[in-house]
Structure formats: structure tokens, C-alpha cells
Amino acid sequence: MDKIDRSILSILQENARIPNVELADRVGLSASACLRRVAQLESSGLITGYNARLSHEKLGHSVLVLVHITLHGQSADMLSDFEQAVRKVPQVLACFLLAGESDYLLRIAARDVTDYGRIHSEYLSALPHVLRMESNFALREVVNRGLSAEEL
């Protein structure tokens, strides 16, 4: 990966819908050479996909909750059971296996606090092998980004 690849990745992180001709112009390549570079970045796995960032608030989910979960143990079966079950909870936006005091961190979208109470009682309390849960309500998002070009 060279400086041009880093520039391509940085620009695509800002706007993945940028036309190839404009991207090529910004990185100093011909359109065909730029398209080949992007295809190579995709096939090498550096670009894993493209998506739209949705406004959860405008979709009616204005409450973001970060939930730390500790399991009774960390056997392969317990981890597998938990992960299979958490994938079925539609309000879970992300689930991370952690090293540290908690075993997992969930990012959950809810309409409001009452809706989170429903999610907690219907879904979270039914997750297997859970010893403890700690819910933290996000007040506002400060930063949400990928790696910068300097870090690539």
C-alpha cells in the first residue's frame, strides 16, 4: 500500500459515493488506473464494503445505550451460545468481545428509555450465561470515524 492507496482510502471514507473520475482526479491518476486500484483494495480485503450511515434519531431511535455484559464464564460453548443469541436481537447495532472487566460491549438503539426497558426485559435478560449487565446511556456522539490517512 502506497501513498496513493492511502489517499484513495481516506477519500472513500469521507465519501464512498464519489464518482471514480473525481476520485482519480483528486489522487492524480487516470480513471482506469484509479478503478484498478480501488478494485485491488477491495480484492485484498482492505475495503470490506460500503454502507450508508443512517440517522438513528431521524428513524425514531434517539437513545443509544452501551451495555457491558459479563458472563458466568468464558468457555467456548458459553461464548458461542451468547453470540448466537445476541445476533437475533434486532436493536443490537454492534457487539464486541472484550478483554478486560466485561466480556462484551453492546451498542443498542432504542426509541426512548421506556423502549430500552422493553428491550432489556424482552431480549437482554433472556441472553444465555449472563452474570451482570451495566447499561450506559450515551448523551451525544463526539467522534465516530475510521482510521485517518496518517494511520493507514
pLDDT digits (tens, 9 = 90+) for 15-64: 999 999 999 999 999 999 999 999 999 999 999 999 888 888 888 899 99
SS3 95: strand
Q: Are residues 33 and 82 in the same domain?
A: no
Residue 149 counted as domain residue: no
- Structural domain boundaries, residue 95: 63-137
Q: Beta strands 130-137 and 92-97: pairing type?
A: unpaired
**104-114: pLDDT as tens digits:** 999 999 999 99
Strand arrangement of the beta sheet that strand 63-71 belongs to: 92-97, 104-110, 63-71, 130-137
Report the predicted TM-score, pTM, of the whole model to 2 decimal places: 0.80
d(CA 126, CA 86): 10
Cα 59 from chain centroid? 18
Give pLDDT, residue 76. 97
Residue at 143 is within a domain: no
Band of the pLDDT at 152, cuts 50, 70, 90? low
Same domain, 73 and 129: yes
State the average pLDDT over residues 91-95: 96
**How much is the pLDDT for 147?**
76
Q: What cell numbers appear for 74 in the block? A: 468464558
State how far the Cα of 48 lies from the Cα of 12, in Å rounded to an integer: 12
Contact 104, 133 (CB under 8 A): no
CATH number for position 16: 1.10.10.10
Residues 67 and 133 in one domain: yes
List CB contacts of 85: < 8 A, sequence separation 6 or more. Answer: 126, 127, 128
What residue has cell string 464494503? 49
